[in-house]
């Protein structure tokens, strides 16, 4: 008769004490100590995001050629090009800011979602540029993790000793 590991009476190992690092997309928690193929993953993310941006530009070119075939006029064609350029620039900036600072207003981020979708090429290029120096979002996550660890250690250090063994202060009369 085999024992079911879920019903065993063996103690379960407790997880590490303190705050845990938040995983990043494509990197997990390897950003913390740059292990398990971190550099290779970063190179893959850089190449992948650049290839996706190039494919996106290729598709936008086909869309523009469709407008040319439809003979909608020069004004509409120019308007479409300017719209995609502006949306890509805004998406690049907002994506880049998202790697360094957490969004404080979720409603504003929600309202910019469609703009970032239209300017997807800008977001992909921001991802590419950031992955050349670090995992996108690594600096933000590292700062938050180190702050949380420092706060945990400070709280942990002040709670040493048995609180029941402390001397009680006499009550003031």
**Residue where the block lists tokens 């090429």:** 121
Residue 124 class from Cβ within 10 Å (0-12 exposed, 13-18 middle, 19+ buried)?
buried
CA distance linking residue 23 with residue 20, whole number of Å: 9
CA distance linking residue 145 with residue 154, whole number of Å: 14
How much is the pTM? 0.75
Residues 7-45 have pLDDT tens digits of 545 444 555 677 888 888 888 888 888 888 888 999 999
């Amino acid at each position: 008769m085999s024992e079911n590991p879920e019903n065993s009476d063996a103690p379960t190992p407790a997880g590490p004490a303190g705050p845990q690092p938040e995983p990043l997309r494509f990197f997990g928690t390897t950003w913390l100590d740059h292990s398990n193929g971190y550099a290779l993953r970063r190179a893959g993310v850089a190449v992948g995001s650049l290839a996706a941006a190039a494919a996106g530009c290729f598709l936008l070119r086909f869309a523009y050629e469709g407008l040319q075939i439809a003979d909608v006029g020069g004004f509409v064609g120019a308007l479409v090009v300017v719209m995609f350029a502006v949306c890509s620039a805004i998406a690049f900036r907002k994506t880049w800011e998202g790697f360094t600072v957490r969004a404080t207003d979720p409603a504003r981020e929600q309202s910019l979602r469609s703009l970032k979708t239209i300017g997807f090429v800008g977001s992909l290029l921001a991802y590419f540029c950031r992955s050349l120096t670090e995992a996108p979002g690594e600096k933000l996550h590292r700062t938050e993790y180190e702050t949380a660890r420092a706060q945990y250690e400070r709280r942990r250090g002040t709670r040493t000793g048995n609180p029941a063994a402390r001397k009680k202060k006499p009550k003031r009369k």
